[in-house]
């Protein structure tokens, strides 16, 4: 089967990294996929060309690799930022849920692992 017209491995919202058609290193998420042309549109969050950051670019799917989604529930700084948002929005239920997650994460990291 021709390389074109194949089903893509990527879906809208997937986190990806790779190179643009101009050989810029990019990191972002998929906005759309064109299986007919074998291209992918990516919203760029990080790039070695600062002018590309914050823009949507189109490149070939074979220049991109999928990233595993980060486990934000295991990231203390991410939870602290969400707690701040919950305080700003005065969402007590969400605040309590996030605080519990943060406490659980901190307790897990304090556990001593025997050598």
Q: Domain boundaries in the chain?
A: 14-66, 76-109
pLDDT at 30 over 60: yes
Averaged pLDDT, 24-52: 93
Q: What is the spatial distance between Cα 24 and Cα 36, in angstroms, rounded to a whole number?
A: 24
Choose which CATH entry (3.40.50, 2.30.30, 3.30.70, 1.25.10) describes domain 14-66.
2.30.30
Task: State both tokens at 72.
Answer: 């934000």
Digit-coded pLDDT (tens) for 94-115: 999 999 999 988 888 776 566 5
Long-range contacts of 98-103 (CB under 8 A, 24+ apart): 101/73, 102/76
pLDDT at 2 over 50: no
Digit-coded pLDDT (tens) for 44-92: 989 999 999 999 999 999 999 998 766 666 788 888 888 998 898 899 9
Task: Supply the pTM of this predicted model.
Answer: 0.57
Contact 18, 26 (CB under 8 A): yes
Q: What is the spatial distance between Cα 20 and Cα 65, in angstroms, rounded to a whole number?
A: 12
Find the helix or strand (DSSP H, E) in which 41 lies.
Answer: strand 39-47
């Amino acid at each position: 089967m021709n390389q074109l017209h194949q089903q893509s491995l990527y879906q809208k919202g997937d986190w990806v990294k790779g190179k643009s058609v101009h050989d810029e290193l990019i990191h972002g998420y998929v906005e759309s996929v064109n299986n007919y042309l074998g291209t992918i549109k990516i919203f760029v969050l990080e790039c070695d060309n600062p002018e590309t950051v914050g823009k949507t670019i189109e490149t070939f799917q074979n220049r991109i690799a999928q990233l595993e989604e980060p486990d934000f529930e295991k990231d203390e700084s991410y939870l602290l930022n969400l707690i701040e948002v919950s305080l700003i929005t005065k969402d007590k239920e969400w605040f309590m849920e996030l605080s519990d997650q943060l406490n659980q994460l901190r307790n897990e990291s304090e556990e001593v692992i025997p050598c």
